[in-house]
Amino acid sequence: MEAATTKCRCGLEAELEKVLAAHEGKKEDLIEVLYWVQKNYGYVPKEVQVVISEKMKVPLSTVYDVITFYHLFSLKPKGKYEISVCNGTACHLRGAPFILKSFEKELGIKPQDTTGDNMFSLGLIRCLGACAVAPNISINSEPHGRMEPELVTKIVKALKEKSKLADCIE
């Protein structure tokens, strides 16, 4: 999932209207709508939950219920780069815990947290299905295999550089 920057939400409200209109009267599409919100907002803000509840005629409690049940949705904004370490069996057997520790050390945060500058979020993800090239991580849903603890510093540094560059262009 693309972690959206939380800075600019220009036009998102209008888009949300459109998405909700497309799913009008179909309560069973709630997960799909939330999927869209998570992807575009980077999380599901409270005010959006209220809008969804009203438009889809689903109780707010149900919306909250579904958001908190599924791993994919979050109530807190995520960082610009969402790093997830695969927590599957194959990755565990091939050293995923060491990869996670390296990221924790490098970023100074624990899983499910975001760095103070909103740059990085660290998380665990369920098996990506690329077990043969374990251990795997994913950065904004882009998978990377054959990870090694030594590579962690490099990756974080490269992402910081990339972000600086992007800021300059902006």
Amino acid at 108: G
Residue 116 Cβ, how far from another protein at the closest point, in Å?
27
Instruction: Confirm or reject binding of residue 44 to another protein (CB under 8 A).
Output: no
> Which parts of 91-130 interact with another protein (CB under 8 A)?
91-94, 125-130
Pick between residue 65 and residue 117 the one whose CB is nearest to another protein. Answer: 65
Beta strands in 21-119 (DSSP E): 81-86
Pick between residue 28 and residue 167 the one whose CB is nearest to another protein. Answer: 28
Stretch binding another protein (CB under 8 A), from 3-11, 42-50, 88-96, 162-170? 88-96
For CA atoms 82, 38, 2, 132, the dihedral sign is positive
Instruction: Confirm or reject binding of residue 66 to another protein (CB under 8 A).
Output: yes
2 vs 59: CA distance, rounded Å: 28
Residue in 91, 103, 118 with CA at minimum distance from that of residue 150 = 103
68 vs 55: CA distance, rounded Å: 20
Give the binding-site size for another protein (rule: CB under 8 A). 40
Mapping DSSP to helix (H, G, I), strand (E, B) and coil, where does residue 160 land? helix
Pick between residue 22 and residue 132 the one whose CB is nearest to another protein. Answer: 132
Residue 94 Cβ, how far from another protein at the closest point, in Å?
7
134 vs 90: CA distance, rounded Å: 6
Judged by the rule CB under 8 A, the positions of this chain that interact with another protein are 27-32, 34-35, 62, 65-66, 69-73, 87-94, 125-134, 136, 141, 143-146
